[in-house]
Structure 1
Amino acid sequence: MKFRKTISLILLLIVIGSVSRVINIYSVKYLDARFSREDGVIRGTQEFYIEKGKDAVLLLHGLTANPHSVKEIGIFLVERGYTVYAPVIKGHGTSVFDLEKTNYLDWYNSAETAYLKLASNHDKVYIIGTSLGGLIALDLASKYDADGLIVVNAPIEIKSEFTNMLPLVYLVSPYSIRGLFTLQELPIAVDLKLYDTLPLKSAAQLVSYLNHVKPKINNVDEPILVVQSLKDDIVNPESADYIMNNVNSSKKELLLLKDSTHINIVTSDKELLEREGYAFIKNA
């Protein structure tokens, strides 16, 4: 009798898991179809390259984001005489299903190609990266001699007790549906044209990538400004301390944004970031 009950329970769990998985996948397809696209690209998410001066800034967006999310800081820097290039990290700006097919080497290679393009015809190249872009910035700086970098909310430590359970969760729910942001942040996510979902395969790639980058941080010796939102609900703010304590930069500065979250840089903090970021690059 016990054996039969056990088998019945297992079968029930399999059915529930299968139904949950199907619902999850079809929900994601519905959400993904809501974006307005042109030739497969979500409108407004294309890369932007603005030639202005002999010194250039490479802008790297975060996971599930796109160049539109860093355009404001890009325009700010162009107005101050810098050439700015914000490439699309592979898998972004089109469909969450494209993102799911990529790995962290694809993400890095997208940024490396953009960096080398700028480095080939500009006197100086600075790198600014947000979230995943911050990790990539550290990775690039560990290999190349950039002239300075600013990393914003780089995920060295992630606030999640589920990272070790991703393979198990994937069996039931292969996508996280906007569980990334609070209801207050949802309008911001929409305005920034972020994907509505995060493939758990991509989340696992992010974890693998941060573990790949961490040992290389002590190879970073460029001037660095580490920026961390104290109300970040995704990245542990101690990530900033780890970076500060492990880079070998003679010039390193820490900027804490006391009122901002991972994606919501409030107006007062945004003005502070622009002001301090510009001053840092100018004097790097």
Structure 2
Amino acid sequence: MMTSLMPSTPSAAAAADTPSAGHPATVELARRHAVEILTRAAVPSPDVDAELLLGHVLGLGRGAVQAAAITGRVLDAEERTVFAELVERRAAREPLQHITGRAAFRSMELAVGPGVFVPRPETESVVQFAIDALRAVPIPRPIGVDLGTGSGAIALAMATEVPNAAIYATENSVEAFIWARRNFAESGADNATVVFEHLADAFHELDGSVDVVISNPPYVPDDAIPRDPEVRLHDPSAALYGGPDGLDVVRQVSATAQRLLHRGGTLIIEHGELQGQAIRELLTADGWHAAATHRDLTTRDRTTIAIR
């Protein structure tokens, strides 16, 4: 009988690919296992989320995680356990950004978590209108205001990308304001100010002097149910729901912006894809000029702009 020349115990590589306590031991196997779990849970981007969660555990960027998967990096027991726990949380549809504590927005990474609306990619195109408008102002120190700043994403994008501008932001949720204040401090943008105040009462000292007002107000109608569990179960209701037609806060934004902006100033509002016509009509009735709605990268109506 021929005797096998293979050792009776697994090689290091084979042992590394053997699940331990149900958790795969290499980066690649852990990634594959996580993708399977997240796919079954109907998470929209299971491969991306698996790699970002691995990166969070390992302190690596996504590209470095992909490299570690190719080179066969082994996860230690603690890394496997922590990663498995994070995958379970994501499979339960807890937002990825709540799990990692960070949200990417344009060139920034913001601190986020329970109590604050997680900034969305579509808002990046909305804030571009404000950035362009501020850059076009023919004075050395244009003024921009963000009404209902949430995490501070919009205000800080304006402040960091138009550093000669003076940016003011207001937020009236205690939980969201805590996150905003942290992000303003971390940004180092000394041209940005955030205050705890209702947007209807904000910045009377700036009346008639502001060049650009922008807002991403709550605009979901009260009886609508957001489709995504991440939104429905985790985003604060105060950041989502805007009254019976979803436009109660938009009406407040219109009134405050009329007070703040000088003649010729620009108002920019983010809204739902079916609300463009209603908002144009609302703004026109309020005395705004040239109200126009613009689509986002998915060709959905997303932004309405008007002139004071």
Please indicate the TM-score interval, normalised by the length of the shorter structure.
0.3 to 0.5
Larger radius of gyration: 2
**Greater relative contact order structure (CA < 8 Å, 6+ sep):** 1
TM-score normalised according to structure 1 size: 0.35
TM-score normalised according to structure 2 size: 0.34
